[in-house]
Structure 1
Amino acid sequence: MDLIHLSDGDNSFRVRVLGRRMPGVLPLHDLLNAEVLIESGFVSGRLDLGLFPDDLAGWSRALDVLAAGGDVCWIDDDRSPEIRVQALNKQHETPAVHVEDVARSSISVFVPLCLEDGWIDDQRNLLQLVQREWPSEVLQTSPGAYEWRR
């Protein structure tokens, strides 16, 4: 299921959620396996990604910033690729995505996308579908202590 799907027919950027990494195992039950997919006439690539509930909440906040015309950096940590999204790239006059795999390969890809109006609302809908399919079911009660949500 796609968490993010930005495409203009020629170029696309997707974050696809594949499922829970360790279903039924505390505290990793809520960790989702995902992949970043980039496709264009020039380059295509795939990166593995792990998503925590905080990452989904961060994407929700990032969508709010994008809706206000700002740029965002999502999942800026040492374990994942850095994903930057520009609401409007001035050089290309379109939204754009920049993915940099700092942790593993040091490769970066810049993808300008001619997106239709309403693309941010489309991404909010995808986020809601992912959260509905894989709700957070683990609660951290104190540092290092977890239990199932009721």
Structure 2
Amino acid sequence: MVDGQVTELIRFADDENCVTVRVLGSTTVGVPEGCLEVEIVAASAFAHGRLSEVFLLDDDLEEWAEALDRLASGQGVVWMDDGRNPEVRIAMSGPYFSRGETLDAIEVTVRDVAASLTSVSVLVRLADGWVEEHRRRLALVRERWPLGGC
């Protein structure tokens, strides 16, 4: 891994729960050379999980851009569902109920289909403008680490 900069490609977070995909840098040796190394973290008061040695291809970034378009239109998505990496599922179905309160939230599930077969789901309440913020995050990742057909 090189670069020394850490950038969050994905950050779904509120006061209680968080799911992030952090770009650690680009790989320069080994397989897959020239791709992005990331870690995925899902955290709540109940559970905390971290997956490392996850590698993104240029196609993964393009699929994330398409997923953002679907999320913006209110559809749920499954990202990285090819069995190579952990799968990220985002369900826009709510409302959810907790402690007698209605929560306007999304459900984010990270499932480690490639190794442990474990999954973690968290509900996250999102601020206005979250889709645009994620599009800015994606543009920043592409600017810092252009993959160009990895």
Q: TM-score, normalised by structure 1?
A: 0.84
Q: Find 1:132's aligned residue among 143, 146, 149.
A: 143
User: What does residue 59 of structure 2 align with?
Assistant: 54
After superposition, residues 68-107 of structure 1 pair within 5 angstroms as 68-91=73-96, 93-107=104-118
User: What does residue 144 of structure 1 align with?
Assistant: none
CA distance in 2, matches of 1:101, 1:122: 26
* Match status 1:20 vs 2:31: no
1:39 positional shift:
1.3
Q: Find 1:67's aligned residue among 59, 68, 72.
A: 72
Deviations 1:81-120 (A, max 9, x none): 1111123434454112011112211111111101111111
Structure 1: gaps (5+ residues):
140-150
CA contact (8 A) 2:13 2:19 kept: yes
Q: Calculate the aligned-residue CA RMSD, in Å.
A: 1.9
Count of residues paired in the alignment:
137
User: What does residue 112 of structure 1 align with?
Assistant: 123
CA contact (8 A) 2:25 2:38 kept: yes
CA distance in 2, matches of 1:79, 1:59: 15
